[in-house]
Amino acid sequence: MMSFLTNQIPINPSLIKPPLSFPFYTKHSSGATSSLRPKMSSSSSPSSLAAALPENRIVVQGGGNAGNALTCAARLGLNPRLISKVADDAQGRGILEELKADGVDTSFFIVTPEGNSPFTYIIVDNETKTRTCIHTPGYPPLIPEELSKDKLDSALNGSRLAYFDVRLHETALVIAKEATRRNIPILIDAEKKRDGLDELLSFATYVVWTEASSVPKGLLSMLLKLPNVKFVIVTLGEEGCVMLERSVSEAQDLEVMDIDEVLESLKQRAPYHSSTPSSISSSVMKLRADGLGTLSGRLHVGTAEKIPPSELVDTTGAGDAFIGAVLFGVCTNMSPEKMLPFAAQVAACSCRALGARTGLPHLSDPRLVPFLD
């Protein structure tokens, strides 16, 4: 699935993202569910929901990588557009209604009278704060022939950024090629290895990665293989994140440093003891690793908020919230030093409520103000 964003801030961005799922978030403390509850609205407060719902409960709420990230971006002030496909069923209608309520443009959706919309049953364990996902994909899937040239032109018109989560990769590739032809930057959510990931990465300008086998050598390897990528971020959960940013400078007198040593030095200086997200960065240097090569760039380490156990409710969608904030950061020209702590704070807010969207903050949220100064 694909989606686009535009914003109401100074710039006029857009993004593209892949398919959207409709999860059922279930909070368990003893193993049995007791009651079906109405869908949480985007305006529901976490405290009122916590007070109203029993300890064992089922909550129906929109979700999926694309939907979550774009809902986050919309609440931060962007105007997202989403290309996707749903069936004309209860789940599909719920998906569209909830996205519209949060300001996501759903006019580029394909709605089919047959088949089923995607949904996921998510079991959240109250004791361990872990989750189990049981996913049912949408059927029939979106294929390139269903996306008309006029609809694609309209979706891309005025777009500043295209975003893909690598689902429905055949259609995503068609859109990525057209976005590249129009010089629209592309951010790839490389959450996991999916069909079409390698092909889409060849069009990437930015990459957010959640399954790096080796940090930071994996980041260096990716930038060396993908010369058009400006930065790659790997998220590390409660350990924060690491970002490798390519430098446009190729000055010959730059210091040459082993990238593992640089990362270790930054980690030793990073304020992990602080409860507030922050970041620390290297200077521009030539970063190298044995057997890989050398790249001029900067390494950044971002820390995560230390959420008290009593406030941690559900980590579902935290990575999507982080990406939504990165989309906002790219569209508003945030520096990495500001973007990484800001994205970490947005992700932390999302972890304080049940489901992937309930806790997503708006730009006016007092918890975000210190990161926007």
Between CA 207 and CA 205 the distance in angstroms is: 7
Residue 120: pLDDT band with limits 50, 70, 90: confident
Indicate whether 131 pLDDT > 90.
no
Indicate whether 366 pLDDT > 90.
yes
C-alpha distances in Å from residue 20, one per residue of 17, 165, 167, 258, 266: 9, 10, 9, 41, 37
Tokens of 160: 């500043």
Q: List pLDDT tens digits, range 141-187.
A: 999 999 999 999 999 999 999 999 888 899 999 999 999 999 999 99
Residue 1: pLDDT band with limits 50, 70, 90: low
Tokens of 325: 């904030």
Q: List pLDDT tens digits, range 10-32.
A: 332 333 333 333 333 333 333 32
Give residue 56's pLDDT: 64
121 vs 51 pLDDT, higher one: 121
SS3 (DSSP) at 354: coil
Give residue 54's pLDDT: 47
Between CA 320 and CA 346 the distance in angstroms is: 10
Under 8 Å between Cβ of 43 and 102: no
Strand ranges across the sheet with 57-60: 57-60, 23-28, 119-125, 131-136
Backbone angles phi, psi at 234, to 5 degrees: -115, 125
HSE (side-chain half, CA atoms, 13 Å) at 353: 26
For range 242-261, the mean pLDDT:
90
Under 8 Å between Cβ of 73 and 80: yes
Segment among 73-77, 151-155, 252-256 with least mean pLDDT: 252-256
Share of the chain above pLDDT 70, in %: 83
Q: List pLDDT tens digits, range 187-203.
A: 999 988 888 899 999 99
Q: Tokens 């047959």: give the residue.
A: 114
Give residue 45's pLDDT: 43
Indicate whether 48 pLDDT > 60.
no
Q: List pLDDT tens digits, range 343-353.
A: 999 999 999 99
The mean predicted confidence, pLDDT, of the chain is 85
Tell whether pTM > 0.75: yes
